[in-house]
Amino acid sequence: MNNISLLIADDHMLFLDGIRRILCDEDNITLMGEALNGKGLLDMLHKNKPEVILLDINMPVMNGFDTIKFIKMSYPEIKIIILSTYNDEHLIEKAKGLGANGYLLKTASKEELIETVNLVAKGHSCFPYRQPNAKQLSNMDNRFWVQYSLTKREGEILEKIKAGQTNQQIANSLFLSIYTVETHRKNIMQKLQLKTTAALMKFIFENNI
């Protein structure tokens, strides 16, 4: 197995210490150096170019995301794994977008850490399981609803409109105020990109709701 050279940037001394202790047990991973922020890391890169960099997001002077941009510009061949306490979808996406090769939670176990480093070094992308988004999770198995992002309530209202009920009747049967029903109708029209009630009726019958 090839020896993997590694640099790490994190402003947290205790954490760096922990990482060092974990990695010294690994024969195939060599920790070439440690930086306390992105700037320090970039300085190191002038001398040594590692295969993989472990990069914290929140650091003083230069943070992780800015650092990725620089590294990817100057040394696109270096692989980067983001190390973060944040388990947020939008951050993972952002890291991916900037060209990171992996995203690792700081609370990951020792095994996960080693595995991720190895996988990334081999050229794999290594991101945690991404949760399906709201649309996919929604109970609407009817693809029609999904297509127009209509909610269950809006579906109920469409059915009642189709049945010829007035706003007041809809409000009464759904225990809503008339203002709420009117707002729902407006929202439906906006979602379906329709302007008039006639167009809505046409839409309802054409799509056989």
Partner 1 sequence: MRVSKHYILIVLAGILLPLCIRGQTLLDTFKIKGANDEQLLNYYKFWEDKNDNASLKDVVNLFKQNQFTSVHSENPAFNSAYTKSSFWFVLNIKNDTTTSLNLMWSFYNNDIGFVIYELDSTLQPTFRDSLQVENTLENRNIPFRAMSYQFDLQPNQGKLFLAKVYKKNTDFIYFISDLSTSEDILLWENQFAFLSGKYVGILLVVIVFNLFLFLILKSRIYLWHTLYSLFILCFIFSEDLLDVVYLPSWIYTYFNKITKMNFLGFAMIFLVIVSQVFTESKIKHPRLDIVLRFYKFIMIAINVSLFFGSFLLYTDNIFLSLLRKSNDLILFIGVLLVLFYSISSLVKKDYRLLIYFISSILLLTSILLYLITDFFGYRPYYLSPGNIIVAFIIQTIFLSLYFILKFNREQKDNYVSLKKANAENEKLSGSILKLQEIERKRFAQDLHDELGSSLAALKLRLQKSSLPKNELTEVLKIVDKASDDTRNISHNLMPPEFEQTNLESLLIAYYNRLNTESDVRFHFHCMGYKNIFGKEKELIIYRILMELTNNILKHANAGEATIQLIYFEKYLEMMCEDNGIGMVDKKTDGIGLNNINSRVSYIKGEIKIDTTQSGTTIIIKIPYNKNTNE
CA distance 72 to 65: 11
CA distance 162 to 56: 56
Our CB check for partner 1 shows the closer of 193 and 208 to be 193
Does 110 engage in binding with partner 1 (CB under 8 A)? yes
Does 155 engage in binding with partner 1 (CB under 8 A)? no
Our CB check for partner 1 shows the closer of 48 and 168 to be 168
Q: Which two tokens stand for residue 99?
A: 């060209």
Among 133, 141, 143, 198, the residue binding partner 1 under the rule CB under 8 A is 133
Q: Are 6 and 31 in contact (CB under 8 A)?
A: yes
Among 72, 96, 106, 162, the residue binding partner 1 under the rule CB under 8 A is 106
- Burial code (b: 16+ CB inside 10 Å, e: under 16) for 60-96 equals eebbbbebbeebeeeeeebbbbbbbeeeeeebbebbb
Does 139 engage in binding with partner 1 (CB under 8 A)? yes
Cα-trace Rg, the chain: 27
Can you give the binding site for partner 1, defined by CB under 8 A? 10-12, 14-15, 17-19, 21-22, 25, 57-58, 65, 85-91, 93-94, 106-107, 109-110, 131-134, 137-139, 149, 151-153, 175-177, 179-180, 183, 186-187, 190-191
